[in-house]
Amino acid sequence: MTKRIKDKFDGWKIINNDLLRERREQMKPPFHKKKVMAEKLHIDPNLIKKYEDGTKYPSLSTLKKLCLYLQISADELLGLDIVNGSLNNLNSVRLQIQHLKERSPQNQGGKGKIPWNKRKKGVYIYSEKTKQKMKDSSCKKFTKEQELEICKQYEKEKISCATLAKRWNCGPSVIRNIVFRNDKILRSRKEAQSTEKTKEKMSVSAIQRIQTQRGPYKDTKPELKMKEILNDLNIPFEHQFRLGNHLFDFHILNTNILIEVDGDYWHGNPKKFSKLNKMQLEMKQKDIKNNKLAKENNYILLRFWEDDILNSEEKIVKKLININKIIIFS
């Protein structure tokens, strides 16, 4: 008998939400209010609304509290009026089960809806019309004149690809491809970035970041070690010395001597790397340019590897002592 009843109750709503609402409204004021009821039961007022709507069910402890507050038996609230071991409201239970099936998540819209294609591979929710629209938007072709017009709008108005896509009734990827195919826009933007004014602004902001130690612009281990060595030898120095559009690590004050601390990986220490990767080769080219920049401005540039600074400090100290003697005697 119990197994059969459990099968019939499977899927049926747990509490009689209509009875819950009725009993609450029959309470004397102010106890009929949801806020007062929630305070007494120590629960959220929104939960009472959900219990009455049938969207959420109370826990066992909350159910007991509800029964005591509303002065109603648990059997009544659960819809189980059992007399002589049989169910009086079996017909109402059947109706409720039928009603629940109609209100099941598969038949409801909005939140909690189970998609019809769940766990089915290769099946899409989109209708044929939306599929066609998606095809048209992604594969839409423009003439050269139209492409130029899109590029002009992108350059002059400085709007995103998504807004242009809405204007031209196509996908954002189509606009993005058109814009990046056009060399003129890329050239103009690169030229704007590489102007002397922008370079100067960038270098000034970089110096400010380094001086204030903001973001990733923090001193590395070899730089900190070099600072210690210079301080121990009483050599006055300036950290992050700007020359042109480049920042050199150290400048020994009242001299024309610059010091650069080269990281083993980034600058490709030959002791550790027999073959250099693309990034290391690019850094080598930058180092050559910086060497030229120092020479053109009559500066002597000394370079020290990270490995030598951290592991063989004596060599660096000897070099710096010799430089210090030259400074004193000069």
- Supply the DSSP symbol for 115: P
> Bigger pLDDT: 213 or 318?
318
Residue 197: what are its φ and ψ, rounded to 5°? -65, -45
One-letter amino acid identity for 86? S
pLDDT of amino acid 102: 57
User: 271: helix, coil or strand?
Assistant: coil
Q: Report CA dihedral (32, 34, 40, 46) to the nearest 10 degrees.
A: 160
pLDDT confidence bin for 194, thresholds 50/70/90: low
pLDDT digits 0-9 by tens, 63-76: 888 888 888 888 88
Average pLDDT over residues 201-208: 71
Instruction: Identify the sign of the CA torsion 85, 88, 89, 94.
Output: positive
pLDDT digits 0-9 by tens, 155-164: 777 778 888 8
Cβ of 270: how many Cβ atoms within 10 Å?
Answer: 10
Instruction: Answer yes or no: are the C-beta atoms of 157 and 167 closer than 8 Å.
Output: no
User: 73: helix, coil or strand?
Assistant: coil
> Shortest CA distance to 305 belongs to which of 250, 214, 229, 223?
223
Residue 223: what are its φ and ψ, rounded to 5°? -65, -40
pLDDT confidence bin for 297, thresholds 50/70/90: very high
Residue 41 above 80 pLDDT? Answer: yes
Q: pTM of the prediction? A: 0.41
- Supply the DSSP symbol for 306: H
Q: What does the angle CA 221 – CA 301 – CA 323 come to, to the nearest 5 degrees?
A: 85
- Fold type of domain 217-329: Endonuclease; Chain A (3.40.960)
Instruction: Answer yes or no: are the C-beta atoms of 66 and 77 closer than 8 Å.
Output: yes
How far is C-alpha 308 from the geometric centre of its chain's CA atoms?
A: 40
> Bigger pLDDT: 249 or 140?
249
Cα(7)–Cα(184) distance, integer angstroms = 73
pLDDT confidence bin for 2, thresholds 50/70/90: very low
Strand residue runs (E) in 44-197:
82-83, 86-87
Instruction: Answer yes or no: are the C-beta atoms of 252 and 213 closer than 8 Å.
Output: no
What length does the chain have?
A: 330
What percentage of residues in the chain have a pLDDT greater than 70?
Answer: 68
Burial 180-194 (b: 16+ CB within 10 A, else e): eebeebeeeeeeeee
Cα(148)–Cα(191) distance, integer angstroms = 20
pLDDT digits 0-9 by tens, 90-119: 566 566 666 655 555 444 444 444 455 555
CATH class of the 2-102 domain in this structure:
mainly alpha
Residue 210 above 50 pLDDT? Answer: yes
Tokens, residue 36: 């007062």
Residue 63: what are its φ and ψ, rounded to 5°? -60, -40
User: 253: helix, coil or strand?
Assistant: coil
Lowest mean pLDDT among 29-38, 69-78, 199-208, 298-307: 199-208
pLDDT of amino acid 326: 58
Cα(52)–Cα(139) distance, integer angstroms = 51
Lowest mean pLDDT among 119-133, 164-178, 228-242, 295-309: 119-133
pLDDT of amino acid 211: 60
Residue 47: partners with Cβ closer than 8 Å, 6 or more residues away: 38, 56, 58, 62
Considering the chain, what is the average pLDDT of its residues?
A: 76
